[in-house]
Structure 1
Amino acid sequence: MFFDWDMEHERAIDSQDRLRLVYAQPQVEQEWSAQKRLAALILWRAAYDRDLLIDDVELSSIRSYYNPTLGPRLLHDGPSPAVATKPMDGGGPFSELLHQVAVILDPHAVLDTRKTQRVGPSTTVGYRVRELRSTPGWFEGDWKTDLTIARDYRESAWQKREDGSWQITPEDLQAAAQASPAEPAYDYPTVPIGPDGYRLWLQGAHHLVMVGTTLSAVANTLPRTADGYLGPLAMVLSGHAGACHSLSESANDIDRLWAAEPVQPRDLSYWDLSYVPDSLREQTEEIKTLIHELRVWLAVLAP
């Protein structure tokens, strides 16, 4: 994730540009792979040395591993995972590779010295990854485009219903009833509301991911058009499912972190503050709104 962020934001190389560069200069793929492997090794070593999950490593603690003086000794002398047995084959000296990785990681490692407004725990690797993943305006965080696409599908289907190019069938009505999202039960994980009335973020996110799974399943039951394409309702359901599934990776991350807790944390809001960035909360709330809109739309779909 840090490598991809650097490529798109610092080097201004998007996914299409990457393909063109690899085609024109095949050696760059080896160079990029070496950078990613060394970055992964640094994060792994920081976690190993502290007996932590990589997700829980404070980003500010990784700087010594790419320090030009300390880094080579720390990385050469210590343990490494089997997949990192050759982290230094980028086509140049190790010092140069280490500098390249420092340029990738350091903007994230120094965040806490620059973001004086954040209250709570220090920024961890996992927190920052989830923050980047839910930051709009780039390939990995393009969830706002997912919302726009879902709403466009809904508007297009409604226009087809109005002009008669989409004749709603009994199968459509049955699918709409099956797909209509239920109100959230907040039953996973089974955590009571906190004394302050706070509800764990994961409960709402898990519900939305499950809604996405249901929408996809129902969409797949609908017949295709004579040309083999998805019909209007299937497009609507699939588009909204995609928006819900944009939460899947972060929800899975946080599910694993919650399961790793030896005892249930007393302060749920502080626990969430440690793992759920504001951008991910915003994404979740926007998707909740989208699904509410879908629920209303499905309810008035029948002629």
Structure 2
Amino acid sequence: MDRLEWEELHQQSYRQGAWPRAERSAGALMRRHTGRDPHDIERIEQEGTGTPAEQAEMVSTWLPVTRLVALAVWRAARDADCRIDDTELARALWWLGGQGAPDLFAEPLPPWTGLPGNWKRLEQRLLPDLLERARWVVTQQLLAHDQDPLADSDDGTAVLLGDRIRAIKSEPFRDGAPPRWTLAVEHANKVVMQAQIAVSGGLWHPRPGAQDAAAQLRPTLSSEPDAPPAPAEVTVYTWIQRLVRLAHIDTTISTVLCHHGDRREAELEGLPQAPFGQAVRASGVALSGLVPTINDLDELWTRRTEGVAAWERTHIPLAVRAHAMALEDVVASLSRLAAYVMNPDAPH
């Protein structure tokens, strides 16, 4: 396909062009490599935003390194005529010091925005140290994806850039820390349990607004995974079905909250005096953290050519599976709470 068609493919898939997608992905790789992420609130509270020397290093070294990685990914995807996310991550190394290195800065180049300088200046200061750091960012993420002690045996399937980015979104911000979704899931579990205690112990009595919302949510919360349809030979729920169910629950929660918000029902507010509303909202926040990954995987599933097991091994990392299982526990607890709210006097 020509470049205009290639760009249109990215707009249709991601609602952004190929170069912004490459920059975004390279930034995620770099932040996971350095362990310095602006969303890592725990680290910032403990260490601050970094010393002046660390901030200077970010500007002088790591941002240019990120741009190098982004350019290599962009080149690899264009060369393979595929989406940025569908690029083989290892292929970026071919451009970062491999056989493609002489053409890394060849025209046409993507637009230079957001940083001082231009492509010519970056090429002129392409010191061995910058190139080596860029190569190591990619290499480390390949190793991290392949060497999880619980991972499936290597079947020779290439790691796609999108696979690694989806894993990063469910991993810790830095090595040794809990997964980045932990706080949201723990908070949801906490407020759901508090609401359960309040209603079962008679400390809070649901009014019609909360009971109506619970009745609207309960069928979806207790539903079985059934979409997309699994191949006939598969007799268990597939991972994509389990994930799509979570996204559907997130949508249902948003719809119910919007409906009752329009009616200005206080029992669905996220306040301590409205424990069911607080529990539903906290659960929705926890679920929403995985929805972008689920949407990517759902789209990728439609283009599947391999068997279910091989596809799951390739595209659903263990970090994503652990994240999904934690959310399934939140959903199960919220479903039990909804049953209590619908009929608090019935035996449970």
TM value normalised by structure 2: 0.70
Aligned to 1:295: 335
Counterpart of 2:162 (choices 126, 131, 137) is 126
Question: Within 5 A, what are the aligned runs for 1:36-115?
Answer: 36-67=66-97, 72-77=101-106, 79-83=108-112, 86-87=118-119, 93-95=125-127, 96-110=129-143
In the alignment, structure 1 residue 153 sits paired with structure 2 residue 191: yes
What is the CA-CA distance between 1:246 and the residue it aligns to? Answer: 2.0
Amino acid at match of 2:118: K
Q: Deviations over 1:53-112 (max 9, x none)?
A: 222322233223222x75652312364333579357679922243233223222123457
- Whether 1:279 aligns to 2:299 is no
1:43 deviates by 1.0
What code does the residue aligned with 1:245 have? Answer: S
TM-aligned CA deviation for residue 37 of structure 1: 2.2
Q: Secondary structure at the match of 1:236?
A: helix
Deviations 1:220-278 (A, max 9, x none): 425348x994621111001111222222121121123234x2xx636222222221112
Please tell me whether residue 213 in structure 1 is matched to residue 264 in structure 2.
no
CA contact (8 A) 1:216 1:241 kept: yes
1:258 corresponds, among 295, 301, 317, to 301
**Cα distance in 2, alignment partners of residues 162 and 199 from structure 1:** 33
1:170 maps to what in 2?
A: 208
Counterpart pick for 1:245 among 275, 288, 294: 288
C-alpha distance in 2, partners of 1:218/1:272?
32
Q: Distance in 2 between matches of 1:251 and 1:198?
A: 19
Residue type matched to 1:77 in 2?
A: A
Do the aligned partners of 2:195 and 2:337 also contact (CA within 8 Å) in 1?
no
Return closer, same or farther for 1:102/1:151 CA change in 2, 3 Å cut-off: same
Q: Secondary structure at the match of 2:105?
A: helix
Preserved contact between residue 22 and residue 29 of structure 1 (Cα < 8 Å) = no
Task: State the Cα distance separating 1:15 from its structure 2 match.
Answer: 5.5
SS at match of 1:54: coil
What CA distance in whole angstroms lies between the structure 2 residues aligned with 1:20 and 1:224?
A: 42
Q: Which segments of 5 or more consecutive residues in structure 1 lack a partner in the other structure?
A: none
- Count of residue pairs brought into register by the alignment: 295
Identity %: 20
State how far apart, in whole Å, the 2-side matches of 1:193 and 1:199 are: 11
Q: Describe the shift of the 1:194–1:279 C-alpha distance in structure 2 as closer, same or farther (beyond 3 A).
A: farther
Deviation at 1:285, TM superposition (A): 2.4
- Specify every segment of 5 or more residues in structure 2 that has no aligned partner in the other structure, as ranges: 1-27
What's the TM-score once normalised by structure 1's chain length?
A: 0.79
Structure 2: distance between partners of 1:146 and 1:103:
32
CA shift for structure 1 position 32: 4.2
Note the C-alpha offset of 1:2: 0.6
Could you say what secondary structure the match of 1:197 adopts? coil
Partner Cα separation in structure 1 for residue 141 and residue 277 of structure 2: 41
- C-alpha RMSD of the superposition: 3.7
CA contact 2:191–2:279 (8 Å) conserved in 1: yes
Q: Shift of the alpha carbon at 1:173?
A: 1.3
Q: 2:118 aligns to what SS in structure 1?
A: coil
TM-fit CA distance, 1:26:
6.8
Q: CA 1:285–1:88 in 2, change beyond 3 Å: closer, same or farther?
A: farther
Cα deviations by residue, 1:136-177 (Å, 9 ceiling, x for unpaired): 465994223222111111122234446765342121111111
Q: Give SS of 1:118's match.
A: coil
User: Could you tell me which residue of structure 1 aligns to residue 231 of structure 2?
Assistant: 193
